[in-house]
Amino acid sequence: MLQQQSFNIRDSPTFSCISFDYGMQKSSPEDLVFDLFKLPQREEASIGKLISVLKGFGLRVADDPRLRPTMERVRELQDISAATVGESIDEDIRHCHLNRQLFRECIHPCIPLISQVGVLWVDFLKSKNCRLCATN
């Protein structure tokens, strides 16, 4: 399991790979994470995919206190969505897609931990010759 520690995603060599490819030098860590989980052809990112990656790195998303603020905000947004639509929605978080502003709002309290996992995720993609980092 990852330990909470001081970490800046911009200090990672992987960040330079993404920054070079996408001109993200001035992007916030939240924007970088949004772009990693952005849906093709849409201005939304999948919280479900992010959560799957976090779980894949051994985090117990449901009861990890470091992720509590993010998970509580996602549940709040699901409740608001259900009230707006006027019906119950699928409680499965895997299908939760958020625009940039809401995604940033959800992950902001936990960005040090999420950024740490994000760097590991990008390193994994790079090791698999992902097209995002293939040029570096």
Distance from the Cα of residue 83 to its chain's centroid = 25
Q: What is the mean pLDDT of residues 6-17?
A: 51
DSSP state at residue 87? S
132: in domain: no
**Considering the entire predicted model, what is its pTM?**
0.66
Domain that holds residue 83: 10-127
Phi-psi region of 73 (alpha: psi -120 to 50; beta: other; left: phi over 0): alpha
Query: Could you tell me which residue, 85 or 31, shows the higher pLDDT?
Result: 31
The answer to whether residues 30 and 111 touch, using CB atoms and an 8 Å cutoff, is yes
- Backbone torsion region of residue 124, taken as left when φ is above 0, otherwise alpha when ψ lies between -120 and 50, otherwise beta: alpha
Instruction: State the CATH number of the domain containing residue 82.
Output: 1.10.238.210
Q: Which tokens in the block code for residue 49? A: 């995919």
Say if 28 falls within a structural domain: yes
**Segment 53-74 mean pLDDT:** 88
Number of domains in the chain: 1
Using the predicted structure, report yes or no on whether residue 119 has a pLDDT greater than 50: yes
Q: Which two tokens stand for residue 127?
A: 């090791």
Alpha helices in the chain (DSSP H): 13-22, 29-36, 47-56, 68-85, 100-107, 111-127
Domain assignment present for 136: no
Does residue 70 belong to any structural domain of this protein? yes
Please say if the pLDDT value at position 79 is more than 70. yes
